[in-house]
């Protein structure tokens, strides 16, 4: 018979230990067998590797889901803002409208908080409103921050921005405005630039 049962009594309890006889000696059933142990270690390592790959796939899927959700939230907020843009543009006064159009042509940050957060068609909305109000502005003049004799007041505002001060005179000849930009004074008559001094 190949198995031998050995009973050991320790104090008041006892345990049964089984030993198996192998060609090289006695091996405990729960003990180390190099062949069995190596296979078991490979199996455990493979299972751990599969679990790690599964966790990576889950993390990647979760990251993709979060990116998609963020993109959806951004697009919804952008759409909500753009729907409100026409109302904001319609309520601008002429000076502010021309100023903002000049900033948009030069791709500058707009000096209007609501419009500045909106992307896309803000320049087109501003341009349409300028046309609807029969205002005149040259994109080239606004881009260059330049004015010339005969430029419109809208071009002046689009190119130079809002003045620090504006003095207006009205008489039988029409309306004269002195636009003060620091040490530069620009004069317009009936909506057209007539002269400047610096």
Q: What b/e sequence results for 80-111 when a residue is b if at least 16 CB atoms lie within 10 Å of its CB, and e otherwise?
A: ebeeebeebbeebeebebbbbbbbbbeeeebe
Q: Kindly report the CA angle at 32 between 30 and 36, in degrees rounded to 5?
A: 95
Which residues, at least 6 apart from 87, have a Cβ–Cβ distance to it below 8 Å?
none
Specify the pLDDT at position 37. 63
pLDDT value, residue 68: 80
What integer pLDDT is reported at residue 155 of this predicted model?
92
| Residue 52, Cβ density class (10 Å: 0-12 exposed, 13-18 middle, ≥19 buried) | exposed
Rounded average pLDDT per 10-residue block, the chain, 198 residues: 38 42 52 63 84 88 84 63 67 89 85 66 84 87 85 91 92 92 92 92
What are the extents of the domains in the chain?
A: 92-197
Residue whose C-alpha is closest to residue 154's, from 110, 102, 106: 102
- Per the CB < 8 A criterion, the answer to whether 20 and 36 are in contact is no
Decide: 155 and 147 in contact? Cβ < 8 Å: yes
């Amino acid at each position: 018979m190949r198995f031998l049962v050995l009973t050991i009594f320790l104090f008041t309890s006892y345990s049964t230990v089984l030993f198996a006889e192998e060609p090289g000696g006695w091996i405990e059933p729960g003990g180390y067998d190099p062949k069995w142990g190596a296979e078991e270690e490979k199996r455990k390592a493979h299972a751990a590797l599969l679990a790690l790959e599964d966790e990576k796939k889950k993390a990647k899927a979760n990251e993709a889901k979060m990116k998609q959700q963020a993109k959806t939230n951004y697009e919804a907020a952008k759409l909500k803002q753009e729907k409100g843009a026409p109302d904001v543009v319609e309520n601008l006064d002429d000076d502010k409208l021309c100023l903002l159009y000049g900033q948009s042509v030069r791709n500058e940050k707009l000096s209007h908080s609501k419009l500045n957060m909106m992307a896309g068609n803000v320049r087109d909305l501003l341009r349409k409103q300028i046309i609807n109000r029969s205002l005149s502005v040259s994109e080239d003049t606004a881009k260059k921050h330049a004015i010339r004799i005969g430029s419109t007041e809208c071009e002046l505002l689009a190119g130079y921005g809002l003045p620090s001060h504006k003095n207006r005179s009205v008489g039988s000849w029409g309306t004269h405005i002195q636009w003060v930009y620091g040490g530069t004074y620009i004069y317009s008559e009936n909506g057209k630039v007539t002269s400047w001094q610096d």
